[in-house]
Structure 1
């Protein structure tokens, strides 16, 4: 099973050129499941289907951007049919009111008796909101844990987390610390394959699409694919994990974020 997480930057920054890069790239990569962030969905346009074409079942966040890049939000696409779709509102405090932070928790009816639980987690983006990202991580983790306690499903969690591996919210997801008297453990697909290699997914020093106010900031890894651990380690094997859309094609980047693709196997 090949899973990709990709922030697509809505329709900003010369969308017609970027559209061609993303369409060609996804056609070549042929993922089974895709977690999109900043994908535009309106009454008359679906950016996910525009990029992927036919052959995918799609779930969309209903709480989306209402100004700026109107309709921008998170989505999950799967070659397998989708079952139950759940949405979590992650506007956890007054500083998060201006952005539709949320999570999509979707049953994917893959070729196993129990559905695969796919979670697209998009917390607050602002650099100084790590306190809120910690609360958002706990909210999503508790929600997922309650489902898994009933069903025993495998869980793949991913998205644009807007936090580096050392941040409290990411340490929480990785099982390195508890928050709010609660703990979980998810294995970072990149780390399992590449150890401590940098693997930046937001690289102002390289990517000309990065907005000017970010261009003096760090290159950093803020996009993740994670596999939930049971009592004895990850329940799915991460066979490969690589960056995708990691450079320009004929001078054009697909997005201001570099995506990740992992190949996962059932033990």
Structure 2
């Protein structure tokens, strides 16, 4: 296994024309066949598991436990075994209310040459005026990821619906351009790395499932790869593309993302070792 495909999608629970959307999701996700996928707004109750309904049966699946009263939350699926699981409570201020904001961190036991991956399904507050919460939630998740990777080394990926655009404080923090609470990290944005001049909007008014025609945020879904000591991401970002974004396969109020990552060759590491 010389590469890993990582996908992320907010599935919009069972809103809209769910029977039609379900058919599209099952077909498209089966055809895409990502190795790892982070899903947001999944519905899991005692009677229904939306993730098991839309994904092929060969995935290992972990669900957020502290879900919204209606069953909504986040879920992560992997073709490889899952080790340790950490569910980070991101309801850090009263303004979060009962929204199930969380970071669901899974230890992915990928085969060589990729090896261990710490994958965070990051799902902060969504409200337009909650960037203060998203800042605190970002640094909370980053601190825990740093501690986990220091204790048990591996690649670190963060993917999900961040509800913030690239120039927001929380995203600038993730990408090494902003300090929060005297903490700084640096992750590479997979979309920006491969499409530096394309805005890559994932939440748009012309999506047929859009209910927020004037929502001011546009690119709000991300796949991030942590940078290593050599200066670049520890997994090379070969490709990043939008998924479920065409008229024939739009199945959510969000467009999704899929990135292809591979271990760096010796040349990549050498080139990234200096300024």
TM-score (norm 1): 0.94
- 8 Å CA contact retained: 1:203, 1:218: no
Work out the number of aligned pairs and report it.
259
* 1:126 alignment partner in structure 2: 127
- 8 Å CA contact retained: 2:165, 2:217: no
Cα distance in 2 for residues equivalent to 1:240 and 1:253: 21
Secondary structure of the residue that 1:233 maps to in structure 2? Answer: coil
* 2:18 alignment partner in structure 1: 15
Cα distance in 2 for residues equivalent to 1:247 and 1:151: 40
- Matches for 1:234-253 after TM superposition, within 5 Å: 234-249=233-248, 253=250
Deviation at residue 112 of structure 1 after TM alignment: 3.0
* 1:262 alignment partner in structure 2: 259
Deviation at residue 167 of structure 1 after TM alignment: 0.2
- Matches for 1:87-102 after TM superposition, within 5 Å: 87-102=87-102
Cα distance in 2 for residues equivalent to 1:96 and 1:239: 36
* 1:216 alignment partner in structure 2: 214
- Matches for 1:63-212 after TM superposition, within 5 Å: 63-66=66-69, 70-112=70-112, 114-204=115-205, 206-211=206-211
Deviation at residue 219 of structure 1 after TM alignment: 6.2
Deviation at residue 44 of structure 1 after TM alignment: 1.7
Unaligned runs of 5+ in 1: none
- 8 Å CA contact retained: 2:5, 2:261: yes
Deviation digits for residues 8-67 of structure 1 (CA, Å, limit 9, x no counterpart):
00011010000001111011111110000001111121111111121100000001110x
- 8 Å CA contact retained: 1:186, 1:228: yes
Secondary structure of the residue that 1:6 maps to in structure 2? Answer: strand
**Quick check: 1:233 aligned with 2:236?**
no
Secondary structure of the residue that 2:106 maps to in structure 1? Answer: strand
Secondary structure of the residue that 2:91 maps to in structure 1? Answer: coil
Secondary structure of the residue that 2:26 maps to in structure 1? Answer: helix
Deviation digits for residues 125-169 of structure 1 (CA, Å, limit 9, x no counterpart):
001100000000000000101111122210111000000000000
Cα distance in 2 for residues equivalent to 1:103 and 1:219: 21
Cα distance in 2 for residues equivalent to 1:233 and 1:106: 23
Secondary structure of the residue that 1:99 maps to in structure 2? Answer: coil
Cα distance in 2 for residues equivalent to 1:264 and 1:97: 36
**Quick check: 1:44 aligned with 2:47?**
yes
Unaligned runs of 5+ in 2: 265-275
Cα distance in 2 for residues equivalent to 1:218 and 1:264: 31
- 8 Å CA contact retained: 1:248, 1:254: no
* 2:27 alignment partner in structure 1: 24
Structure 1 residues 172 and 219 mapped into 2: Cα distance closer, same or farther (>3 Å)?
closer
Secondary structure of the residue that 2:158 maps to in structure 1? Answer: strand
